[in-house]
Amino acid sequence: MPEGGLTAVLRRSTALRTTVRHCGIGVGALLMFAAILLAAGKDPLKAYVDTFHYTLANSYGFSELLVRMTPLLLAAVAVALPARLGLINVGGEGQLYMGAFMASAGAFLLPTAPRLILLPFVAFMGFMGGAIWAAIPGILRAAKLVNETISTLLLNYVAPLIVSYFVFGLWRASENSAYPQSSPFPDAALLPSFFNTRIHAGLLIAVVALLAYWLLLEKTRWGVDMRAIGGNAEAAQRLGIPVPAWIVTALAVGGGFAGLAGMGEAMGIAGRLRQGLSPGYGFAGFLIAWLAGGRPLGIVFMAFLFAIITSAGDTLQMTQGVPYAVVNILLAMILFIVLARRSAGGTSK
């Protein structure tokens, strides 16, 4: 009993230390970003106060954080799952676009189907869009032809062009619109939203995906196999684990989650297919999964943090005329600090 008590105390103190460390990293990154904004002649304090005001200070702002977290959670799982095998999926952005594209195709294919059929069909198509897009790098990697890092990155640039091709072509809205977007989806294809906010069923899908990811890793044989491959692929192969099949499957399922994120953005938020449907959620998902070390609770925490950061990007754009893309500096600062302090001991690969 006293031993158990001691371990509990020890565990709590490491948890405390982890929290303090994370907060330290966050504060450090915010200070460095503030210095850069200041150097550019902007007001960082106003930016931070405004962001707080728009996100955490009222219930509507908070609901918008949950809306942003939806694609971030899914995009993070898309990275974390293949990462268990030691695979680096940097293609979440492309997979997200393909998910939105295929889901839209589903909605336009069966415009008169009842909701009970159309919604599951659209979700399935969204999943498949991302899965196919991620299976391509998976197959190339399993065949030892191309490293998945570079192929997933390259495919990120192709998927938005496919969306643009259809948005400007076949699916272009018939009403005279200067904004390139498809015609609206049939009502039966739209995800239900809750509490008079923009929170939509995609959030439920994201939570289920995260739970499934956790169950898969911790409670099934498959999780053990995946960890074995991540530890030493060659040894796993000798043990009879079909490594190439696992590589393709893990990337495809991961990509499918990113595809669901794209489906959510199209069917839950916009109600149409739009050209710039993601401001880099796929890339953010990579950072979230990496910073969280693939741990489910860490992913939730980091996704929440990133939802605030991306809101800061919007706030900066609205109140101080700073391009949204500038928020990438803040992401880079967090990474720099984590990278610079993590390794010198020699733990990194």
Partner 1 sequence: MTTPLILGLLAGAILSGTSLLYATLGETIAERSGIVNLGLEGILLIGASVGFSVTAASGNAWLGLFAAGMAGGLANLLFGWLVVTRKANQLASGLAMMFFGFGASALIGARYVGAVIVGLPKWRPSWLAGFRWVKATTLFNYDLLTWVAIPVAVLVWWALFRTRWGLGVRAVGESPAVAFAAGRNPAVLQYQALSCGGVLGGLAGAHLSLSLTLTWSEYMTAGRGFIVIALVIFSKWNPLRAIAAALLFGGAESLQLQMQARGSLISPFLLDMSPYILTLIILVAWGGSRRLAAPAGLGRTFYGSE
HEC string of the chain? CHHHHHHHHHHHHHHHHHHHHHHHHHHHHHHHHHHHHHHCCCCHHHHHHHHHHHHCCCHHHHHHHHHHHHHHHHHHHHHHHHHCCCCCCCCHHHHHHHHHHHHHHHHHHCCCCCHHHHHHHHHHHHHHHHHHHHHHHHHHHHCCCCCHHHHHHHHHHHHHHHHHHHHHCCCECCCCCCCCEECCCCHHHCCCECCCCCCECHHHHHHHHHHHHHHHHHHCHHHHHHHHHHHCHHHHHHCCCCHHHHHHHHHHHHHHHHHHHHHHHHHHHHCCCECCCCCCHHHHHHHHHHHCCCCHHHHHHHHHHHHHHHHHHHHHHHHHCCCHHHHHHHHHHHHHHHHHHHCCCCCCC
Per rule CB under 8 A, is residue 348 in the interface with partner 1? yes
Query: 183 or 320: whose CB is closer to partner 1?
Result: 320
By rule CB under 8 A, what string of x and - marks binding of each residue 282-301 to partner 1?
Answer: -x--xx--x-----------
Query: 156 or 249: whose CB is closer to partner 1?
Result: 156
Per rule CB under 8 A, is residue 339 in the interface with partner 1? yes
Lookup result for tokens 């509990």: 8
Among 17, 21, 53, 342, binds partner 1 (CB under 8 A): 342
The distance of closest approach from Cβ of residue 333 to partner 1 in the complex, given in angstroms and rounded to an integer, is 8
Per rule CB under 8 A, is residue 322 in the interface with partner 1? yes
Query: 231 or 323: whose CB is closer to partner 1?
Result: 323
Query: 212 or 332: whose CB is closer to partner 1?
Result: 332
Contacts of 136 (CB under 8 A, 6+ apart): 151, 155
Among 1, 116, 178, 340, binds partner 1 (CB under 8 A): 340
Per rule CB under 8 A, is residue 105 in the interface with partner 1? no
Per rule CB under 8 A, is residue 207 in the interface with partner 1? no
Q: How far is CA 138 from CA 91, 113, 123, 143, 337, in A?
A: 11, 34, 22, 8, 31
Query: 115 or 341: whose CB is closer to partner 1?
Result: 341
The distance of closest approach from Cβ of residue 40 to partner 1 in the complex, given in angstroms and rounded to an integer, is 6
Per rule CB under 8 A, is residue 30 in the interface with partner 1? no
The radius of gyration computed from the CA coordinates of the chain, to the nearest angstrom, equals 21
Query: 113 or 322: whose CB is closer to partner 1?
Result: 322
Site for partner 1 in 110-169 (CB under 8 A): 140, 143-146, 149-151, 153-158, 161-162, 164-165, 168-169
Query: 211 or 325: whose CB is closer to partner 1?
Result: 325
The distance of closest approach from Cβ of residue 136 to partner 1 in the complex, given in angstroms and rounded to an integer, is 8
- In the chain, the largest separation of any two C-alpha atoms, in whole Å, equals 74
CB 66 within 8 A of CB 264: no
Query: 11 or 342: whose CB is closer to partner 1?
Result: 342
Q: Which stretch binds partner 1 (CB under 8 A): 68-76, 108-116, 264-272, 320-328?
A: 320-328
The distance of closest approach from Cβ of residue 169 to partner 1 in the complex, given in angstroms and rounded to an integer, is 7
Per rule CB under 8 A, is residue 326 in the interface with partner 1? yes
Among 2, 5, 175, 349, binds partner 1 (CB under 8 A): 349
Query: 116 or 344: whose CB is closer to partner 1?
Result: 344
Lookup result for tokens 């915010």: 30
Per rule CB under 8 A, is residue 325 in the interface with partner 1? yes
Residues that bind partner 1 (CB under 8 A): 36, 40, 88, 90, 140, 143-146, 149-151, 153-158, 161-162, 164-165, 168-169, 283, 286-287, 290, 321-332, 335-336, 339-344, 346, 348-349
